[in-house]
Every structure is written in structure tokens, then in C-alpha cells.
């Protein structure tokens, strides 16, 4: 029973960490199905000897065959490039992992998924206190493999880069975020006056 719950929890966590492919899949299926239905309808009209609804198969084939003679190269290249980009977007959407900006926190009883913005806010608060600056002077970006901390110091007051890094790393260890990202701290060369 507990193995089944663990598998269910892993599936739930995976769904929360990865974006759904449903919308692009449905869009592709609808477009391809509509085109195929239209071609079948026109072919059925041709087979029964009726007039075409929009364009008959013979007319469409003739138009495609004479396209390079009747149309300038620039629109053809543009249309081909557009079709290539649309195909590339569908291909990349299918192949790339589609990770959301979220992290997991291991827990034996339940699945915990934390949004990267929430994690960045907590890390920014700790970094702000460690650097001795206001909230507007610290910006934290949480990625899959790295946490970027940017500090704009108050003019004339040095910032302990290693102290800020150790505080942020300690906060990450306390939250037990998986996978544990590396921490990079950057101090701006110009400071803020009177903060």
C-alpha cells in the first residue's frame, strides 16, 4: 500500500513540476484533422462527379505545381520559413522537458512543491538582513541549478559577499529544496545613496 502511495506522490510531483502538453497537442490534432476532413470531402465530391466545394484536387495540384512560376521567391521563402518555425515550435514542445519554475521539498508524508518566486522571496529576505540593506536593494532569481543574488549596497557600506552566500545556502539547506541549486552573489559596483 505504501509503495502505491509513493508512486502516486511521485506522479503528482512530476505533474506539478512539468507543464502540460495538452494545448499544443489538441491544436495540432484539430488543425491536421480539419485539413484531412476537407481533403476527404473534396475527394468524395470529385469521386461522385460533383462540383468542388472550394477547390478541387486537380485545381489544387495544378496551383501548387505552377506556384514557383507565378509567385515571386520572397513570399515563397517567407511562407516556407513560417511553416518551418511552426513545425520547430511543435517539435521543441514535444522534445524539451517543459519544466515549470518550481522545486520539491522532500517529505515522507506528503508531496511539497514550492514555486520559485516564493523561494526567491524567502532567500531575498535572508540576504537583505545579512547584507544590511533594504528590500529594494536585493534581487534574487531562482533557477533550476543556480540561485543568483544581486545586491546594490548602500554607498560607503561594504557588503560581506561570503556572509550573504552562506546565509542563502543555509536557508536553502533548511528548506531541503531538491535539487539543491548553487548560490552566486554579485554586488553592484555603484551603491545606493541614503538607504
- Is residue 84 scored above 90 in pLDDT? yes
Is the CA virtual torsion 167, 171, 176, 179 positive or negative?
negative
Q: How far is CA 106 from the centre of its chain?
A: 23
Query: Per mean pLDDT, which range of 16-20, 92-96, 175-179, 182-186 is the poorest?
Result: 16-20
Count CB atoms within 10 A of the CB of residue 159: 21
d(CA 12, CA 3) in angstroms, rounded, equals 14
* 3-state SS string for the chain: CHHHHHHHHHHHHHHHHECCCHHHHHHHHHHHHHHHHHHHHHHHHHHCCCCCCCCCHHHHHHHHHCHHHHCCHHHHHHHHHHHHHHHHHHHHHHHCCCECCEEEECCCCCCEEEEHHHHHHHHHHHHHHHHCCCHHHEEEEECCCEEEEEECCECCCCCCHHHHHHHHHHHHHHHCCECCCEEEEEECCCCECCC
pLDDT at 195 exceeding the cut of 70? no
- Cα–Cα distance, 129 to 149 (Å, whole number): 13
What pLDDT is stored for residue 111 in this prediction? 74
Residue 32 or 105, more confident = 32
Q: Return the domain boundaries, the chain.
A: 19-95, 102-187
Please compute, for residue 38, the number of CA atoms within 13 A of its CA located in the half-sphere on the CB side. Answer: 12
Rounded Cα–Cα distance for residues 187 and 68 (Å): 58
pTM flag (> 0.85): no
Amino acid at each position: 500500500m505504501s509503495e502505491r502511495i509513493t508512486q502516486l506522490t511521485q506522479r503528482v510531483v512530476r505533474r506539478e513540476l512539468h507543464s502540460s502538453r495538452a494545448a499544443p497537442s489538441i491544436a495540432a490534432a484539430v488543425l491536421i484533422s480539419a485539413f484531412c476532413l476537407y481533403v476527404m470531402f473534396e475527394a468524395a465530391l470529385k469521386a461522385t462527379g460533383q462540383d468542388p466545394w472550394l477547390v478541387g484536387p486537380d485545381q489544387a495540384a495544378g496551383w501548387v505545381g505552377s506556384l514557383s512560376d507565378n509567385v515571386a521567391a520572397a513570399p515563397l521563402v517567407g511562407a516556407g520559413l513560417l511553416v518551418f518555425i511552426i513545425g520547430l515550435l511543435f517539435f521543441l514542445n514535444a522534445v524539451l522537458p517543459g519544466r515549470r519554475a518550481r522545486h520539491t521539498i522532500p517529505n515522507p508524508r506528503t508531496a511539497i512543491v514550492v514555486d520559485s518566486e516564493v523561494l526567491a522571496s524567502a532567500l531575498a529576505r535572508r540576504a537583505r538582513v545579512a547584507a544590511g540593506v533594504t528590500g529594494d536593494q536585493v534581487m534574487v532569481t531562482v533557477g533550476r541549478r543556480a540561485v543568483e543574488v544581486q545586491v546594490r549596497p548602500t554607498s560607503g557600506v561594504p557588503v560581506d559577499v561570503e556572509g550573504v552566500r552562506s546565509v542563502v545556502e543555509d536557508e536553502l539547506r533548511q528548506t531541503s529544496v531538491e535539487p539543491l541549486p548553487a548560490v552566486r552573489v554579485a554586488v553592484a559596483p555603484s551603491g545606493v545613496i541614503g538607504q
